[in-house]
Amino acid sequence: MAWNFVFASAAAFAVRAVPEMMAQPAPRNFVAGTADEMEMKPSPIEPSWILSGAPVARLAEHSRGQDDAAMTAIWDCTAGEFQWQFGWDETVMIMEGEVHVTAEDGTERLLRAGDVAYFAGGTSAVWRIERYVKKVAFCRKPFPKPLTMAYRLRNLVRSGGLQGIAA
C-alpha cells in the first residue's frame, strides 16, 4: 500500500514537472564573457543578517548547470558587516577589494584579490567589508549525506579502490 502511494506521488510530480521542464530554454553548453559586461542586479542581504553598516549587494548570474545544482555568479558588496548563511557549497575567488571573514569556529582570515576560499553549505560566516569587495562565486547544492556516501562508494567500486572513498 505504501509503495502505491510513493509511485502515485512520483507519477503526479512527473505529470506536473514535465510541461514546466519542457518550457525551459535550451541549455547553453558554453558561456563566456567578461565580468564587466555582466549586468549587476540588486541582491539585498537578509536584513536580520546585517550586524553593522548598510551593505549594498549586487549579483550577476553567469551560468547555471543543466541539473540546476550548480551556478556561477559575480557578486559585489559595499561596506558593512553581516552573518552570511551559506545554503549551497560555495567556492569564491576575490576579484577586487577585500573582506575579513570569521568562520563559525572563530577562524579569521583576510581575503584579497586573487584569494580563493571554500564555504560548506549549511554553515555561516561573518563578513566584514571595509570598503568594497567583488567575487566570483562557484556554487553547488550539497547532496544529502546518504546520497553522498552512495556516490563515493560507487566511485570506490569503479576505481577498484585505487582512489579511495573520497574520489
Tell me how far apart the alpha carbons of residues 23 and 19 are, in angstroms, rounded to a whole number.
6
- Domains of the chain by start residue, with CATH: 36-140 (2.60.120.10)
118: nearest Cα among 152, 96, 142: 142
Q: Which helix (H) or strand (E) holds 6?
A: helix 2-23
What pTM does this model have? 0.72
Nearest CA among 51, 81, 57, 48 for reference residue 137 = 57
Q: Could you list the pLDDT tens digit for every one of the 167 residues in the chain?
A: 444 543 444 444 444 554 554 555 556 676 677 777 889 999 999 999 999 999 999 999 999 988 888 999 999 999 999 999 999 999 999 999 999 999 999 999 999 999 999 999 999 999 999 999 999 999 999 878 887 788 788 888 887 766 555 54
Q: Where do we find the cell 505529470?
A: 15
